[in-house]
Structure 1
Amino acid sequence: MPESSTTIGHPVAPASRADRGPIPVVGVIGGIGGGKSSAAAALAARGAVVIDADAVGHETLRRPEVARRVAERFGPAVVAADGSIDRRALGRVVFADASARRDLESIVHPPMFEEFGRRIAEARALGEAPLIVLDAAILLEAGWDRACDAVVFVDAPREIRLDRVRRGRGWSDEDLSRREAAQWPLDRKKAGAGHVLVNDGDAARLESEIDRLMPKLIRARGS
């Protein structure tokens, strides 16, 4: 699933806290290149179970029934020689057409959310982690925050984010702007989070902020 896809419409209301388990689920969001995965990794180093929404999206596209529906909707141009979905080709289509993006989400998001639920239940059954982290760029847009007890926004200046995606993905300023346009504005995402972490390249500061925030997140289930 492309990182910068989004759902247009109204997010589903969060579930009642009475329906949730004893280990809090924390959604981690942020701008593209903001370093949310670094924050999630720091939480993992402190014992959290991390669910990577991008990885789940990729696995979901490999399911035969999902791949079939995607191929039926988008045609042979998005199908690789081995019959799998060509994610690059699919991304070019959906980033250029909001209607196509919504169609893709209607196919892929439901099974992704089911898989999140399965992994959350599995982690809670083990009962060993202090937190379960859902690392998902489009957590709010997709309404996946309904599975979360708390949401953390990872903040970084645009120039730092641009430098990261230039070095890591070969993107230009225009590439970043185009991908960001497919997500909610950052101020809206930040307003939808209960906590903010700064990840401006100072690794020591990020570690310190994680240590400061961790006890608050652990208490989120009872708040």
Structure 2
Amino acid sequence: MPESSTTIGEPIARAKRWKHGAIPVVGLIGGVGGGKSAAAAALAARGAFVIDADSVGHATLRRPEVVRRLAERFGDGILDVDGGVDRRALGRIVFADEAARRDLESIVHPLMVDEFERLTADAERRDDARFVILDAAVLLESGWDRACDLVVYIDASQAIRLERVRRSRGWSAEELERREAAQWPVDRKMARADRVLINDGDVSDLESQVDRLVAWLDSAVPPTADRRPSPGPLP
């Protein structure tokens, strides 16, 4: 866990500069089934402009030039009856072959980063966006945390996460393990986070933690060029 400072800092003013502008960009990560989407929704309700990396990725896969390049690399077997990308067929290949996954990322990720930057710039121009949330399961693995001012990890025990994905997605323990094997171990992710929110309880408990995080973001000092913002104690 990161060390904490005892200084909370001055209120954010739009004239101050974070890495990409006057409002902070927060990377949101967590273990599979940890409740990252619930946290993103709670943050959106409190003024966050949320960028959903999954949605950006799905839209990128629909781009004609991407479809063409993927078919050239992986074959027509990844295409559906309408000529678009069948994500399940593509997933069966890339989850089983690390080289194939890297090739997919080399095609898709640069375009996704371009879209992240465009959406962040859009948020910067909005008067109602208090901060940006980049909700991305593979934020660290893809190096997207370089675009963020800080990273927040949503934590839950393995037993709770397994129960959630069993109910919501019908996954077995083996399927959860397979999915998590394509990402960094949860302990490694948590160690890289600036904040950890615990989501083992009910919704109200998570929302209380989100409220404290938002209060801290509203009072945090933007970083200098050579340091991240001081986490400080949550209010």
Write the mapping of 1:95-114 to structure 2, written as runs, cut at 5 A. Answer: 95-114=95-114
Is contact 1:153-1:197 (8 Å) kept? yes
Pair 1:24 & 2:24 matched? yes
Write the mapping of 1:114-193 to structure 2, written as runs, cut at 5 A. Answer: 114-193=114-193
Q: CA deviation at 1:19?
A: 4.8
Q: 2:39 & 2:18 partners in 1: Cα distance?
A: 28
Q: CA deviation at 1:220?
A: 5.6
Alignment correspondent of 1:195? 195
Q: 1:164 & 1:91 partners in 2: Cα distance?
A: 22
Q: 1:220 to 1:93 in 2, by over 3 A?
A: farther
Q: Deviations over 1:144-177 (max 9, x none)?
A: 0111111100000111111111111111100000
Q: Deviations over 1:16-49 (max 9, x none)?
A: x765200111010000111011101000000111
Alignment correspondent of 1:91? 91
Aligned length: 207
Is contact 2:57-2:112 (8 Å) kept? yes
Query: Quick one: which amino acid aligns to residue 39 of structure 2?
Result: A
Secondary structure in 2 aligned to 1:134?
A: strand
Alignment correspondent of 2:222? 221
Q: Deviations over 1:194-221 (max 9, x none)?
A: 0000111411110110111112233263
Q: CA deviation at 1:127?
A: 3.2
Is contact 1:26-1:217 (8 Å) kept? no
Write the mapping of 1:196-211 to structure 2, written as runs, cut at 5 A. Answer: 196-211=196-211
Q: CA deviation at 1:128?
A: 2.0
Q: 2:161 & 2:167 partners in 1: Cα distance?
A: 10
Q: 1:18 to 1:41 in 2, by over 3 A?
A: closer
Q: Tell me, which stretches of 5 or more residues in structure 2 are unaligned?
A: 1-16, 224-228, 230-235
Higher helix share: 1
Q: 1:137 & 1:221 partners in 2: Cα distance?
A: 25
Q: 2:31 & 2:175 partners in 1: Cα distance?
A: 14
Q: Tell me, which stretches of 5 or more residues in structure 1 are unaligned?
A: 1-16
- Give the TM-score of the pair, scaled to structure 1: 0.90
Query: Quick one: which amino acid aligns to residue 221 of structure 1?
Result: P
Q: 2:143 & 2:217 partners in 1: Cα distance?
A: 20
Is contact 2:19-2:149 (8 Å) kept? no
Q: 2:138 & 2:118 partners in 1: Cα distance?
A: 19
Report the RMSD for the aligned CA atoms in angstroms.
Answer: 1.2
Q: 1:85 & 1:97 partners in 2: Cα distance?
A: 18
Who wins on radius of gyration, i.e. which is larger?
Answer: 2
Query: Quick one: which amino acid aligns to residue 51 of structure 1?
Result: I
Q: In terms of mean alpha carbon deviation, does 35-44 or 197-206 score higher?
A: 197-206
Q: 2:191 & 2:32 partners in 1: Cα distance?
A: 17
Q: 1:98 to 1:176 in 2, by over 3 A?
A: same
Alignment correspondent of 2:49? 49
Q: 1:217 & 1:179 partners in 2: Cα distance?
A: 32
Query: Quick one: which amino acid aligns to residue 63 of structure 2?
Result: R
